[in-house]
């Protein structure tokens, strides 16, 4: 059974003035999954994604 921890981050990008949900790429860098202008919406989406990933095991 493979139990890799989900790596999904929610950070604020000051240059774009938006909250980004992203995960690291295997060879470096980041892949943005979704962007939000509202912090509460971004964090709710992040929690939903983490919860759904945990149940897929």
pLDDT at 47 over 80: yes
The dihedral of CA 33, 39, 41, 45: what is its sign?
positive
pLDDT at 3: 53
Note the Cα 35 to chain centre separation in Å: 9
Is the whole model's pTM more than 0.85, yes or no? no
pLDDT digits (tens, 9 = 90+) for 12-37: 999 999 999 999 999 999 999 999 99
């Amino acid at each position: 059974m493979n139990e890799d921890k989900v790596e999904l981050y929610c950070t604020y990008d000051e240059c774009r003035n938006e909250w980004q949900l992203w995960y690291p790429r295997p060879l470096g860098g980041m892949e943005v999954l979704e962007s939000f202008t509202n912090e509460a919406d971004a964090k709710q989406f992040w929690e939903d994604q983490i919860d759904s990933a945990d149940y897929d095991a």
